[in-house]
Amino acid sequence: MQIKLKGNQNSWGLVAIFSHWIIAFLLLIQFTSGIRLSTMNFSYSKLELIDFHQSIGSVIMIFVFFRIIWRFYNSKPFNRELPNYHLKLSKITHLVLYFLLFSVPLLGLLYNWLSDMDIIIFGLITVPNIIIFENEDLADILIEIHFYLAIFFIFIVIVHFFAALYHLIIIKDRYKIFYRMRFKSIK
Amino acid sequence: MFKSLINYLVIFFLVIFSLNLFGKDNKKREKNMDKMTKITIKIDRIFKSNEIDYQRVIKIGKQLKKLGIEFPSYSKPDSEVGRSKKSMWTERELFLKMNQDFVDAVEGFIVAASTENKEETWAKFKVAFEECQKCHHKFARAKINLLED
């Protein structure tokens, strides 16, 4: 059996499928921890959760960076039968998703760096601060934007999720949208 | 052009942010508290990293102490409650005592950091952190229950 790393007309390929589902899983953790953080009172558990949230965010950023590079290299399936408005909607949603996937963690990263706070991924790797100046006021503005963009992000992910469910349940995956993102499709 | 647009945007946000802070006692208090919270995160992370720069720890500790000393001055009798409980004003003596206990604990932390003994410094940080929590429990409103007094 040959495993298809790259995509074709019937599948996104192993690399894209794996990164899609791993990012989806990490985002679920990230949204949950983010919402929990915004409601938590000051405690040592909060500090621990901030570190965890920041570590997951760093891992998401690495995956997204890798996924964007792979997207240019990968052969993508094209839906010829898909109605035009579906194509347009999907394109817009995906563009917004990629923008948020990259900008939300980046804002978190900049907040830490501008506040002169070390970024330690899972207590193992310290990410060097590449910003030489400190600006707490700017950092506070960026973290506010991070918060509101994250709320918008949750909304867009819900739209994406329900669009996938629509394809799977309502129109019985007529255009194989869901199938192409399943591991089954790589065989 | 893009660069100058970014610069204008940053200046715009900074001006709006500064105007928002101007004259509002509770905003200054919250800003001060946010800075103190950030410093505790900073110290916690320094101790989680492999190499501890004690000079940096002392510098940050001094900033924390300064913010702690300044903190009561942002809760004048006529100031808005904001994220604080009314007890900050009704139990003023206790608030000032607890704030002083925190400042003293931070001083102990700075002294310990100057010995460059990791265990001792960390133990003193935990003492200061305990003081933070005690004060928060008594005088800060819970985030998910803003209806409390």
Q: In the predicted model, is pLDDT for residue B146 greater than 70?
A: no
Q: Is residue A117 a part of any domain in this protein? A: yes
Q: Is residue A111 a part of any domain in this protein? A: yes
Q: In the predicted model, is pLDDT for residue A112 greater than 60?
A: yes
Answer yes or no: are the C-beta atoms of B75 and B41 closer than 8 Å. no
CA dihedral B64, B67, B69, B71 (to 10 degrees): -140
Instruction: Find which of A36, A42, A117 to mutate to test the B interface (most B CBs within 10 Å of its CB).
Output: A42
Question: What is d(CA A62, CA A57) in angstroms, rounded to the nearest whole number?
Answer: 9
Instruction: Give residue A170's domain range.
Output: 14-186
Question: What is d(CA A32, CA A26) in angstroms, rounded to the nearest whole number?
Answer: 10
Cβ of A42 within 8 Å of Cβ of B38? The answer is: no
The tokens 């948020």 sit on which residue? A100
**Higher-scoring residue by pLDDT: B1, B113:** B113
Q: In the predicted model, is pLDDT for residue B19 greater than 80?
A: no
Flag whether the ipTM exceeds 0.90.
Answer: no
Q: In the predicted model, is pLDDT for residue B2 greater than 80?
A: no
Q: Is residue A1 a part of any domain in this protein? A: no
Confidence of residue B23 (pLDDT cuts 50, 70, 90): low
Confidence of residue B8 (pLDDT cuts 50, 70, 90): confident
Cβ of A118 within 8 Å of Cβ of B10? The answer is: no
Which of helix, strand or coil describes residue A141? helix
Question: What is d(CA A83, CA A88) in angstroms, rounded to the nearest whole number?
Answer: 9
Question: What is d(CA A176, CA A19) in angstroms, rounded to the nearest whole number?
Answer: 19
Q: To the nearest whole number, what is the mean pLDDT of chain B?
A: 86
**Average pLDDT of the residues in A97-125:** 93
Instruction: Please identify among residues 100-139 of chain B the ones whose CB lies closer than 8 Å to any CB of chain A.
Output: 129, 132-133, 136
Please count the residues of chain A.
187
Instruction: Kindly provide the residue ranges of all beta strands, DSSP E only, lying in chain A, ordered along the sequence.
Output: 119-121, 125-127
CA dihedral A130, A135, A137, A138 (to 10 degrees): -40
Answer yes or no: are the C-beta atoms of A115 and B38 closer than 8 Å. yes
Q: What is the pLDDT of residue B149?
A: 54
Q: Is residue A80 a part of any domain in this protein? A: yes
Question: What is d(CA B133, CA A45) in angstroms, rounded to the nearest whole number?
Answer: 12
Q: What is the pLDDT of residue A134?
A: 87
Domain count, chain A: 1
B25-139 belongs to which homologous superfamily? Answer: Cytochrome c/b562 (1.20.120.10)
CA A90, A93, A96, A100 torsion-angle sign: negative
Q: What is the pLDDT of residue A110?
A: 95
Whether chain A has a CB inside 8 Å of the CB on B20: the answer is: no
**Higher-scoring residue by pLDDT: B51, B4:** B51
Contacts with A110 from chain B: Cβ below 8 Å:
none
Answer yes or no: are the C-beta atoms of A135 and A122 closer than 8 Å. no
Q: What is the pLDDT of residue A3?
A: 67
Which of helix, strand or coil describes residue B84? strand
**Average pLDDT of the residues in A41-46:** 89
Q: Please count the other Cβ atoms lying within 10 Å of the Cβ belonging to residue B61.
A: 26
**Higher-scoring residue by pLDDT: A151, A4:** A151
Q: What is the pLDDT of residue B72?
A: 92
**Average pLDDT of the residues in A91-99:** 93
Q: Which residue of A lies nearest to B32 if distances are taken between CA atoms? A: A136
Q: In the predicted model, is pLDDT for residue A48 greater than 70?
A: yes
Cα B29 to chain centroid, rounded = 9
Confidence of residue A81 (pLDDT cuts 50, 70, 90): confident
Confidence of residue B125 (pLDDT cuts 50, 70, 90): very high
**Average pLDDT of the residues in B70-98:** 90
Q: What is the pLDDT of residue B57?
A: 96
Q: Is residue A8 a part of any domain in this protein? A: no
What are A's interface residues with B at a Cβ cutoff of 8 A? 38-44, 47, 50-51, 115-118, 120, 123, 126, 136-138, 140-141
Minimal CA separation from A111 to chain B, in Å: 11
What would the pLDDT profile of B99-111 be if each residue is shown by its tens digit? 999 999 999 999 9
**Average pLDDT of the residues in A133-155:** 94
Q: Which two structure tokens, joined as six digits, stand for B100?
A: 């002083």
